[in-house]
Amino acid sequence: MTVLEACDRVGGKLLPGEIAGVRVDLGAESMLARRPEAVALAREAGLAEQLQPPATATASIWTRGALRPMPKGHVMGVPGTAAALAGVLSDEGLARIERDAVLPRTEVGDDVAVGEYVAARLGREVVDRLVEPLLGGVYAGDAYRISMRSAVPQLFRAACTHDSLTAAVRDIQATAAAHQQTGPVFMGIEGGVGRLPLAVAASVRARGGEILTGVPVTGLRREASGGWQVATGERALHADAVIVAVPAPAAAALLRAESPAAAAELGAVEYASMALITLAYRRADLALPEGSGFLVPPVDGHTIKASTFASQKWGWIAEEDPDVVVLRTSVGRHRETEILRREDADLVEVSRHDLREATGLEAVPLRTRVTRWTDGLPQYPVGHHARVARIREHVAKLPGLAVCGAQYDGVGIPACIASAYAAVDQLGGDLGGVEELTANPVQSLHGGAGE
């Protein structure tokens, strides 16, 4: 087995780094633990003893001029009762939720935008102040464009069978309570989840696999005798089978010669860009609110979309240097390009401004780092599931070829791993993994910016 990696390192959006002498993640920073794939892979790669849940599971939302506790009893911001959102919504917003019980059924068809459906049932305030910031933390997208079927599949299934959305959420909650899972919802790794791909790469090499970095693939052609010719800048390799695990634009370019139809579908996939601003402070200089951080509804006009109190969320960060406190903020949403054209220093300043407004933090940071993820998060618009099905249908016509990645089956770490496993099984003639992902998309919960 040979892995050809275009970048000079493995890991993609999982990037370990450091600030003020403390190890941190500069990309994704947590893994959904209610799915088995990521935690199981970490254990298999020798990181079992380094797995750590968040030190605190409480978070806030910066809404209507104050930090308010994140409500309980909701599904991606959609409540089972109006009372669940008391303190977060206005009196008018709470009253609007009550109308859901008497409104006629809202049809969802083959798919519907999360924001469109929830606003029709419960009012725009629920979308703008809760659903939008939660979805924004996962997709950096627009709730009024994001597919409910693909992004919040359990809500879509319930909406197909219920007249009332709040009743549907209560049924989801009752089912979850009856099958209560134990253990943390999210998991991290001591030193950062950026260690995971490094450990996996070491394991692959130890088993005889070859991983070549700094080797972008420039062409992919079927050979008359069977198999594939994989062209790089320096040479061409023969492969019995190929898994294309690259973002949609690169996949479109590679598949254009052999499957123009798949390439056209992939070329239509849109991406959101974002930036993470990491700030380190002297502990003596600040006093933060309790919890792991806060989300920010875009409706209030603030620049940052979330902040993570990393030293409070992850015990290992606080232990590495008790005198240093690490925070991070995220900026950038789909089609929001102006903010990302600013210099790093400007992004630090707008982050400090919003942190000051939200928490009263006046201190000057010891160190700052800005990490930009251009076209980092694929968007899941209405009809995403159908596009993915068409891509796989076209690819299936080419023996020895499969695709996987965040643009197909979910943007979270477990979803990407599940997508990879399904691709491997497909090459062996087993379509069970692909069929399972098609029938039951992997919901990516909010686990920090771009989990």
**Euclidean distance between the first and final Cα of the chain, in Å?**
28
Q: Rounded to whole angstroms, how far apart are CA atoms 167 and 21? A: 50
Which residues are CB-neighbours of 217 under 8 A, at least 6 positions away? 4, 6, 230, 231, 232, 246, 254
The reported pLDDT for the residue numbered 203 is 98
Closest CA to 276 of 231, 230, 320, 326: 326
Asked whether the predicted pLDDT for residue 449 surpasses 60, the reply is: no
CA dihedral 241, 246, 250, 252 (to 10 degrees): 60
Buried b (16+ CB within 10 A) or exposed e, 132-162: bbbbbbbbbbbbbbbbbbbbbbbbbbbbeeb
Rounded to 5°, the CA angle 319-40-76 comes to: 80
Closest CA to 115 of 98, 133, 131, 138: 131
* Strand 306-308 to 186-189 pairing: unpaired
Distances (CA, A) of 138 to 31, 246, 445, 450: 12, 19, 7, 5
pLDDT in tens, 177-234: 887 777 888 999 999 999 999 999 999 999 999 999 999 999 999 999 889 999 998 8
Asked whether the predicted pLDDT for residue 107 surpasses 70, the reply is: yes
CB 84 within 8 Å of CB 73 = yes
Rounded to 5°, the CA angle 389-390-392 comes to: 65
Mean pLDDT, residues 91-108 taken together: 95
CB 193 within 8 Å of CB 14 = yes
Token reading at 424? 């491997």
DSSP track, 203-255: HHHHTT-EEEES--EEEEEE-TTSSEEEEESS-EEEES-EEE-S-HHHHHHHH
The reported pLDDT for the residue numbered 326 is 98
The backbone torsions φ and ψ at residue 322, rounded to the nearest 5 degrees and listed phi first, read: -60, -15
Q: Rounded to whole angstroms, how far apart are CA atoms 306 and 265? A: 32
Which residues are CB-neighbours of 191 under 8 A, at least 6 positions away? 16, 23, 50, 316
Helices (H), 74-217: 91-98, 114-122, 124-126, 132-139, 148-151, 153-161, 165-178, 195-206
pLDDT in tens, 194-210: 999 999 999 999 999 99
Q: Running DSSP on this structure, what letter comes out for residue 102?
A: T
Asked whether the predicted pLDDT for residue 420 surpasses 80, the reply is: yes
Beta bridge partners of 327: 279
The reported pLDDT for the residue numbered 341 is 95
CB 394 within 8 Å of CB 265 = yes
Rounded to 5°, the CA angle 430-436-438 comes to: 110
pLDDT in tens, 352-410: 999 999 999 999 999 999 999 999 999 999 999 999 999 999 999 999 999 999 999 99
Give the three-class secondary structure for 69: strand
pLDDT in tens, 264-274: 999 999 999 99
CB 381 within 8 Å of CB 408 = no
pLDDT in tens, 282-307: 999 999 999 999 999 999 999 999 99
Mean pLDDT, residues 137-163 taken together: 93
- In the chain, the amino acid numbered 236 is A
Closest CA to 169 of 217, 131, 215: 131
Q: Running DSSP on this structure, what letter comes out for residue 381?
A: B
- Cα 200 to the center of its chain, rounded Å: 20
Q: Rounded to whole angstroms, how far apart are CA atoms 103 and 90? A: 21
The reported pLDDT for the residue numbered 447 is 46
Token reading at 170? 């209560």
Closest CA to 72 of 61, 171, 55: 61
Binning pLDDT at 50, 70 and 90, where does residue 446 land? low
Asked whether the predicted pLDDT for residue 444 surpasses 90, the reply is: no
Mean pLDDT, residues 87-100 taken together: 94
Binning pLDDT at 50, 70 and 90, where does residue 450 land? very low
Q: Running DSSP on this structure, what letter comes out for residue 67?
A: E
- Give the residue carrying structure tokens 């008790």: 322
Q: Going from the N-terminus, what domains does the chain have, and what CATH number goes with each?
A: 60-178 (1.10.3110.10)
Binning pLDDT at 50, 70 and 90, where does residue 434 land? very high
pLDDT in tens, 244-268: 999 999 999 999 999 999 999 999 9
Neighbours of 293 (CB within 10 A): 26
Give the three-class secondary structure for 258: coil
Half-sphere exposure of 446 (CA within 13 A, CB side): 30
Asked whether the predicted pLDDT for residue 235 surpasses 70, the reply is: yes
Query: Over the chain, what is the mean pLDDT?
Result: 94
The reported pLDDT for the residue numbered 412 is 92
Distances (CA, A) of 35 to 174, 217, 243, 388, 443: 20, 32, 23, 21, 10
The reported pLDDT for the residue numbered 445 is 62
